[in-house]
């Protein structure tokens, strides 16, 4: 059974930083692409960042490019999202997701497994 568990969310002031983690289990973590998405009430889930199986390739939404960094530690079965220069509009529930192949994807339909999310709140 595949499980993804996010952690590291919280309340931070604008301009601050947070590091999200996603602990994966139940499949060979290093074989699959991973992604981060976010969602606010009443809106569709939004792509944030993606990383291929090895970590050599990454892709970001324009809204977070230059501020967020996605990375992975395959030996630890863990995905990360370093978030710097946070803005109030970054407030959302953040989800990690695991795809069924090793490429790099921004489409949420490419991801089969999802975590339950962690809340990030940025105050102005």
| Tally of CB atoms within 10 A around 37 | 24
Q: Is 109 helix (H, G, I), strand (E, B) or coil?
A: helix
| pLDDT digits 0-9 by tens, 9-20 | 999 999 999 999
- Which residue's structure tokens are 């889930």? 45
pLDDT of residue 110: 95
Q: Is the four-CA dihedral 19, 116, 53, 104 of positive or negative sign?
A: negative
Query: What is the rounded distance in angstroms from the CA atom of residue 21 to the CA atom of residue 77?
Result: 10
| Both tokens assigned to 30 | 């290093």
Residues 6+ apart with CB under 8 A from 43: none
State both tokens at 75. 């030996």
The string of pLDDT tens digits covering residues 26-66 is: 999 999 999 999 999 999 999 999 999 999 999 999 999 99
pLDDT digits (tens, 9 = 90+) for 75-114: 999 999 999 999 999 999 999 999 999 899 999 999 999 9
């Amino acid at each position: 059974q595949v499980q993804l568990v996010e952690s590291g969310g919280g309340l931070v002031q604008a301009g601050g930083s947070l590091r999200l983690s996603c602990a994966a289990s139940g499949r060979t973590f290093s074989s699959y692409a991973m992604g981060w998405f976010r969602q606010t009430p009443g809106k569709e889930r939004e792509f944030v960042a993606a990383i291929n199986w090895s970590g050599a390739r990454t892709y970001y939404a324009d809204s977070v490019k230059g501020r967020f960094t996605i990375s992975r530690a395959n030996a630890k079965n863990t995905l990360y999202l370093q978030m710097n220069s946070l803005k109030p509009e970054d407030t959302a529930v953040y989800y990690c997701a695991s795809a069924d192949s090793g490429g790099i994807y921004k489409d949420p339909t490419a991801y089969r497994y999802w975590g339950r999310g962690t809340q990030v709140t940025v105050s102005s």
